[in-house]
Structure 1
Amino acid sequence: MPENKPLLPVIAGPTASGKTALAVELALRLDGEVVSADSMQVYEPLRIGTARPTEAELRGVPHHLLGFLPLTEKYSVARYAGDARRAIAEIRTRGRLPLLCGGTGLYIDAVVDNLQFAGNGEDPAVREELARRADREGIEPLLAELRAVDPETAERLHPANRGRILRALELYRTTGMTMSEQLRFSRSVPPPFEARVLVLDCRDRAVLYGRINRRVDEMLAAGLLQEAEQALAAPTAPTALQAIGYKELAPYFAGELPLSEAVENLKRSTRRYAKRQLTWFRRRRNARFLYIDEYAGLPALADAAQEALAIPPGDTQTNGRP
């Protein structure tokens, strides 16, 4: 990339890998501010179940895109991309270094790859009509329709993936652009920065799973049950309660499962989510991996992160300032 592009360090990784602690430590060392890349931490009432960092954990470092939405408001990757780009630009105008930090892979891709979005292509009436057809005729006629207008997407999608097939048709009907065309368009504008992506992982998977199990126990001790019960009873947007930690507890509140079983389901779901996160990040070209179980503590991990990101100690010229 051209040398005059400003640097954007990115700290990614699975849940409970210590991303926030590392991003905060680097921000303190490099005069930075952190932009969150977490699709659930945007909701203000979801504090405990989303592991939103506390004031103590933030250590005075400014954070952006945390806890600013009510549960009733829908949030999308397209909206996030715009919000994150504005936050990054504003941080740079203050002469500080933005750091992107989170575990939502699509949000990170949207910023790092500078994805462009040609409208969200959503229309409830179209969606409902397609769903009724699928119920009445089965998915095969709709898949055939998708093959006719967007063979690339039809080939890529599993024939049993009803939701994606309907979404691809909805997008085409509402925007006139196929999903394949939108994907090509979305990557047509080069990013205005040099992103360096660092992914946290564990050599020993049992270490990560142990951290996840302990985090769930800590959430319960901090009041997760009360938060989840209130959130599940409140009016919400479709995107608001997708976070692991809420729907797993719903059977307990309904009297269908004992608490111990609901908690075990929550831990299992979180471990599986961590595996999916790592699968996503491994597809990212040029990402560097740091294995947290190879370091004695946060200072040593931060030293290694600075080296992996090629940021010299004490460097304050990484934000594109002349």
Structure 2
Amino acid sequence: MYFVYRSHYEGPLSKLVRRLPDETALAWFRRGWGCEDPRRWVEDELGVDVYGLNSIFQKARDLNLPRPESDEQLRILLHEHLYVEGGSDYIRLGEHGLRVRTDDDEVELAYFFLHDDIVRTAPDRLAYLVHEDWPLPDRAGPPRPFTPDVSTTLSGLSGDDDATTYGVFLTFYDGESLACSQPTAFPGVALPALARHLRTADAGEEWAPELRVLRALIAPDEDTLGPTLDRCNRWPGFNLNAGPWADLPDEHVAAHRRAVEIIEAGEYTDHRRPQDSLLQVGDHLAQLAMHCGDSFGYQQWYLFDTTWAATQPDLARSLLRYANHWDPLDE
């Protein structure tokens, strides 16, 4: 069974992935039932103090609760005694495991106990969630069709290519920090042409603020994304404790001039360290794990086109889904 803790405090990918010996969520909870030190047991098992998870084991000790014998019994106990910030729909126990959403009064968090069968049979939903390491594989084969199975926001002006580029910005600026930005699609634009497309296109009202910053930081004569993403990494925002956006002119050259001034004059908050960020740019996948501060760790940007997505369809579809909803098994 897989355990995943989707937490902004957990490293460059903002998640921790761990393999457990138990076959089911029920078996794991039964194994911990009656433990003497619930907080220590959970942390030893999972490698992290998962927010609120020890509460049910503590209640089991305090109230001498019976060990659950079935999923239905566990479901009742979880809804009565597991501490979560949110409604009853934030605790989802089913045949494929347990999914929980909560928050720690600062940011949203989610954790998952996923049975091996669902990870094996639904990689288009779960491949990114259970992916452990930076970076994502960037191998891309010949262009082939790719169709996402979640909603995306169209960027407006289309290009002339057969490819589409997708932008996934796993960023947040307040406590609502999970799945808060729908992916953007640039139809007719392959990733190698995205820089030129952005600097010559008019920023639409539907553009995410990240895209406006990305466009502004492309130099007027620049056709590659690497230097631009390096500048984005040095933008003095993208932090829960900093205002990330400034008014940028619509005209690209003026916007670039203003954006560079902001970078050069910017001051970082919360011990943000751009030098700790991770950046890798390939022909069809660009990925940035941006260090945003000691308090809330990293935020991730992914830009990829259908050439990469068709080669890595499970990673691509599950990444788009990860940005759309906290629960990848949600229908």
Q: TM-score higher than 0.5 here?
A: no
Higher relative contact order (CA 8 A, sep 6+): 1
Of Structure 1 and Structure 2, which has the larger fraction of its residues in helix? Answer: 1
Q: What TM-score do the two structures reach when normalised by structure 2?
A: 0.25
